C-alpha cells in the first residue's frame, strides 16, 4: 500500500500525530501544523486581517484629526472649505480598505479552516482503510463516525478566528503606539486592559478544557447508541424493545445535554467579563481624558482617538478570546483523532506481484491464530491451531465445521484481513505478506455471509464504480457476472434494470438477492482466488447449486474456498477440510471423510438424522 500521510502536513507517516508537551506547547504545535497545511489561504487571510487592523487604527487617528481640524474649529470659528472634502476622501479610502480586509479575511479564513477539517477527515478515513479488521472490531461504529465527523471538525474550529486574532495582534501593536502617541497616560490605561483580558481567557481555557472533553465523549456515546438502534431496527421492533432503546438513547442524550449546559455556563460567566473589560477602560479614558483636556494637557482629538480605538478594539480583541476559547475544544478533537491516526497494527506492505493468470495455488503452512483474552490464564486464546493444506490451482476447497470452529477466522487469514500469529499463507508459492496489497486485492475476492449493499444502482453495486486500470466494466460484463450468480432474472425484473437504485443497505432486496449481488460483485473482477464465507446461506438449495455449478464450470479460471454446511454443496468440492475447535481433524473427499471421520459424519448427517427421527416418532 502506498505511503499515506496521516494528517494535513504529514510528510513522515511514522512521526506521531499526537501533540506532546504542556498545554501551551501543544497549542502552538496545533496552530503551526494547521497553518502549514493551508499556507495560501491563511497567508491571504492573515495579511487581510493585518490590513484591516491597520485601517481600523488609521480610522481612529483620522477621527481624532477630524475632531481637531474640523469639528472643534467649526464650533469656535471657521473651517477652510477644502478641509472637509479632504477628510471625507481620507475616511472613504480607509472605509474601503477596511471592507476589503474584512471580505478577504472572512473568505480565506473560512477556506483555510475548512481545508484543515477536510485534511483531518481524510487522514482519519485513510487510516480506517489501513487498519485491519481486528482493530475495527474493537471500536464501536458510533465512535468511529464521531472521530471522522465531529472530532475532525472540532479539531479545526480554532482556525476560523485564528487569522483575525493574528491580525489583531498587529492591530494592538499599532493601536498601542497610536494611543501612546496621542497621550501616554490614556495610552497606558488602554494598554493595561490587554493583560487582564489575557488572564481572563487563560482561566477560561483551563475551565473549558475538561468540559469540552466530556462533551466530545458524550457525543460519541450518543452516536454509538443511535447507530446500534438503527442497525438493529428489525430486532428492536420484532422483540418489542422500543421503550428500552428509547430509554438508552434518552439517557445518553441527557448526559450530552448536561455536558453542553456545563460548557454554556462557563461561557456565560467568562464572556460578559471579557466584554466588560474594554468598556470599563473606555469609561476611564473618557473620564480622565475630559480632565486632561480641561487642564490643557491634550486636545479633544486625542481623547477621541484613544476612546475610539479602545471601543473598536473590544470586538477584535475578543477574537483572541475566541481562539483561546476554541483551543481546548480543538485540542480535545485533535487528541481523539490522533488516537486513530497513531493506531498501529496495520498489516505491513509488501512489494511483490504475481505473474500469470488462471486459478491460484493456495497453501497454508502451520497457520495459527491467537487473540487476546483476559479470561484465559495465558491472556490469549487460540482460535486456529497449526492448520495446513494445499489447494491446487483451479480446485475447490470446502471448509466444514461446527459453529465456533474457526472457519471464518481461517478465511480472514486466507484473505489477509489479518496475519497469523504463526505459520504462513502462500499464493502461488509467495508469502502473502510479501505481496503488494493493491495486487492482492485485485486477484482475491471475499464474499462474506452478511452481504453489504450500497444505496446506489445495481450497476454501481456490482462494479463499485471501478474497473480495470485501462477501461471501465461494460454492461455485458455486469450481466455475465449476474448470470453466473443467478441474479440476472431478478435484476431484469427491476423497474430500471441495472439503473435501479437500491434502498439503503439493500432494504428493498431479500437476503438471498443481496448475497447474489455480492457474489456478482466478486466475479466481475475475475479473481484468481474466490473465498466464500458461508456466502450462500440465504439461498435455497437449488439456486445455491446452480451458482456453485457455474463456478465449477469456470474452475480453470478461479480457485474457490468456501465455508459450507449442506451436503450437496460440500459434494461439489474437490477437497473437504473438517475443522474442529480450530484444528484440522480430517481432509479429503466428501466420501472419504464420511467413511473415516466420525465427527464429520455426525456433523453433515445431523439434519437428515434429525428428520428421520421425527418421522419415526410420528408413526
Range in 52-56, 366-370, 456-460, 485-489 the model is least confident about: 52-56
Asked if residue 314 has pLDDT above 60, the reply is yes
Residue 264 inside a domain? The answer is yes
Asked if residue 470 has pLDDT above 60, the reply is no
53 shares its domain with 150: yes
Between residues 603 and 65, the one the model is more confident about: 603
- pLDDT at position 111: 92
168 shares its domain with 265: no
Residue 526 inside a domain? The answer is yes
In this prediction, residue 414 has a pLDDT band, given cuts at 50, 70 and 90, of: very high
Q: What percent of the chain has pLDDT over 70?
A: 86
How distant, in Å, are the alpha carbons of 76, 85, 421 from that of 81?
16, 8, 92
Read off the pLDDT of each residue in 319-341 and give the average, rounded to a whole number: 81
- pLDDT at position 366: 92
396 shares its domain with 479: yes
Read off the pLDDT of each residue in 575-588 and give the average, rounded to a whole number: 91
275 shares its domain with 315: no
pLDDT in tens, 370-381: 888 777 777 788
pLDDT in tens, 164-212: 888 877 777 777 777 777 778 777 777 777 677 767 766 776 777 778 7
Between residues 46 and 288, the one the model is more confident about: 46
C-alpha cell of 570? 460440500
- pLDDT at position 352: 87
Residue 9 inside a domain? The answer is no
Read off the pLDDT of each residue in 329-345 and give the average, rounded to a whole number: 85
**What average pLDDT does the chain have?**
80
- pLDDT at position 44: 93
In this prediction, residue 12 has a pLDDT band, given cuts at 50, 70 and 90, of: low
- pLDDT at position 104: 92
Number of domains in the chain: 3
- pLDDT at position 554: 55
Read off the pLDDT of each residue in 324-351 and give the average, rounded to a whole number: 82
**Long-range contacts of the stretch 168-173 (C-beta < 8 A, 24+):** 168/49, 168/53, 168/316, 168/317, 168/319, 168/320, 169/320, 170/49, 170/50, 170/53, 170/54, 171/50, 171/52, 171/53, 171/54, 171/56, 171/57, 171/313, 171/316, 172/53, 172/313, 172/317
462 shares its domain with 587: yes
The angle that helices 300-341 and 23-37 make with each other, rounded to 10 degrees, is 90
Residue 454 inside a domain? The answer is yes
Q: How many CB atoms lie within 10 A of CB 203?
A: 12
515 shares its domain with 598: yes
Between residues 505 and 407, the one the model is more confident about: 407
271 shares its domain with 409: no
Asked if residue 2 has pLDDT above 60, the reply is no
- pLDDT at position 223: 78
Asked if residue 40 has pLDDT above 90, the reply is yes
pLDDT in tens, 508-561: 788 888 888 888 888 888 888 999 888 877 777 778 778 777 776 654 578 889
Closest to 162 measured CA to CA, from 52, 284, 327: 327
SS3 531: strand
467 shares its domain with 597: yes
252 shares its domain with 381: no
Return d(Cα 62, Cα 328) in angstroms, integer.
39
- pLDDT at position 578: 92
Q: Cα Rg for the chain, rounded, in angstroms?
A: 35
Which of 284, 310, 342 finishes a domain?
Answer: 342
407 shares its domain with 545: yes
Domain that holds residue 143: 23-183+298-342
In this prediction, residue 4 has a pLDDT band, given cuts at 50, 70 and 90, of: very low
Residue 244 inside a domain? The answer is yes
- pLDDT at position 18: 83
Q: Which helix (H) or strand (E) holds 564?
A: none
Residue 281 inside a domain? The answer is yes
258 shares its domain with 140: no
Read off the pLDDT of each residue in 575-580 and give the average, rounded to a whole number: 91
- pLDDT at position 469: 53
Which stretch, 27-41, 88-102, 264-278, has highest mean pLDDT?
27-41
429 shares its domain with 323: no
Amino acid at each position: 500500500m502506498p505511503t499515506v500521510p496521516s494528517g494535513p502536513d504529514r510528510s513522515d507517516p511514522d512521526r506521531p500525530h499526537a501533540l506532546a508537551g504542556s498545554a501551551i506547547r501543544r497549542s502552538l504545535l496545533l496552530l503551526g501544523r494547521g497553518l502549514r497545511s493551508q499556507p495560501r489561504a491563511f497567508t491571504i487571510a492573515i495579511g487581510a486581517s493585518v490590513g484591516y487592523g491597520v485601517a481600523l487604527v488609521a480610522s481612529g487617528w483620522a477621527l481624532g484629526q477630524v475632531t481637531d481640524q474640523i469639528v472643534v474649529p467649526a464650533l469656535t470659528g471657521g473651517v477652510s472649505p477644502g478641509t472637509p472634502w479632504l477628510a471625507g476622501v481620507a475616511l472613504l479610502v480607509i472605509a474601503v480598505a477596511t471592507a476589503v480586509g474584512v471580505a478577504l479575511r472572512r473568505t480565506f479564513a473560512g477556506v483555510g479552516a475548512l481545508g484543515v477539517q477536510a485534511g483531518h477527515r481524510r487522514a482519519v478515513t485513510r487510516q480506517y482503510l489501513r487498519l485491519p479488521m481486528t482493530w475495527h472490531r474493537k471500536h464501536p461504529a458510533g465512535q468511529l463516525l464521531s472521530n471522522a465527523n465531529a472530532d475532525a471538525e472540532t479539531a479545526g474550529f480554532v482556525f476560523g478566528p485564528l487569522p483575525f486574532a493574528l491580525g489583531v495582534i498587529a492591530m494592538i501593536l499599532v493601536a498601542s503606539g497610536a494611543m501612546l502617541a496621542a497621550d501616554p497616560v490614556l495610552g497606558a490605561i488602554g494598554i493595561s486592559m490587554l493583560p487582564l483580558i489575557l488572564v481572563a481567557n487563560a482561566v477560561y481555557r483551563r475551565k473549558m478544557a475538561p468540559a469540552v472533553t466530556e462533551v466530545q465523549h458524550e457525543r460519541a456515546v450518543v452516536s454509538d447508541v443511535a447507530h446500534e438502534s438503527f442497525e438493529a431496527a428489525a430486532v428492536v421492533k420484532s422483540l418489542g424493545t422500543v421503550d428500552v432503546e428509547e430509554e438508552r438513547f434518552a439517557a445518553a442524550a441527557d448526559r450530552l445535554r448536561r455536558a453542553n449546559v456545563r460548557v454554556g455556563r462557563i461561557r456565560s460567566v467568562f464572556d460578559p467579563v471579557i466584554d466588560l473589560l474594554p468598556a470599563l477602560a473606555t469609561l476611564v479614558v473618557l473620564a480622565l481624558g475630559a480632565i486632561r483636556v480641561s487642564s490643557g494637557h491634550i486636545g479633544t482629538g486625542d481623547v477621541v482617538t484613544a476612546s475610539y480605538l479602545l471601543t473598536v478594539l473590544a470586538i477584535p480583541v475578543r477574537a483572541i478570546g475566541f481562539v483561546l476559547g476554541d483551543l481546548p475544544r480543538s485540542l480535545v478533537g485533535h487528541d481523539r483523532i490522533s488516537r486513530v491516526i497513531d493506531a498501529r497494527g496495520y498489516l505491513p506492505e509488501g512489494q511483490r506481484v504475481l505473474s500469470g493468470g488462471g486459478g491460484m495455488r493456495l497453501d497454508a503452512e502451520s497457520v495459527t491464530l491467537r487473540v487476546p483474552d483476559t479470561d484465559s490464564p495465558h491472556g490469549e486464546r487460540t482460535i486456529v491451531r497449526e492448520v495446513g493444506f494445499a489447494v491446487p490451482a483451479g480446485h475447490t476447497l470446502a471448509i466444514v465445521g461446527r459453529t465456533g470452529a474457526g472457519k471464518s477466522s481461517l478465511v480472514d487469514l486466507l484473505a489477509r484481513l489479518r496475519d497469523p500469529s504463526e505459520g504462513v499463507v502462500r499464493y502461488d508459492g509467495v508469502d502473502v505478506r510479501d505481496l503488494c496489497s493493491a495486487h492482492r486485492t485485485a486477484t482475491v475476492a471475499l464474499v462474506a455471509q452478511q452481504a453489504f449493499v450500497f444505496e446506489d444502482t445495481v450497476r454501481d453495486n456490482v462494479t463499485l464504480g471501478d474497473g480495470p486500470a485501462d477501461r471501465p466494466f461494460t454492461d455485458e460484463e455486469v450481466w455475465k457476472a449476474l448470470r453466473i450468480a443467478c441474479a440476472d432474472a431478478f435484476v431484469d425484473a427491476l423497474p430500471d434494470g441495472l439503473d435501479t437504485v437500491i434502498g439503503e443497505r439493500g432494504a428493498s432486496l431479500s437476503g438471498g438477492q443481496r448475497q447474489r449481488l455480492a457474489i456478482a460483485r466478486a466475479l466481475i473482477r475475475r479473481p484468481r482466488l474466490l473465498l466464500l464465507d458461508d456466502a450462500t446461506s440465504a439461498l435455497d438449495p437449488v439456486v445455491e447449486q446452480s451458482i456453485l455449478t457455474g463456478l465449477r464450470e469456470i474452475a480453470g479460471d478461479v480457485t474457490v474456498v468456501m465455508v459450507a454446511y449442506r451436503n450437496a454443496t460440500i459434494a461439489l468440492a474437490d477437497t473437504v477440510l473438517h475443522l474442529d475447535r480450530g484444528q484440522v481433524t480430517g481432509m479429503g473427499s466428501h466420501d472419504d471423510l464420511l467413511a473415516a471421520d466420525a465427527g464429520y459424519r455426525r456433523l453433515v448427517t445431523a439434519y437428515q438424522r434429525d428428520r428421520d427421527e421425527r418421522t419415526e416418532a410420528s408413526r
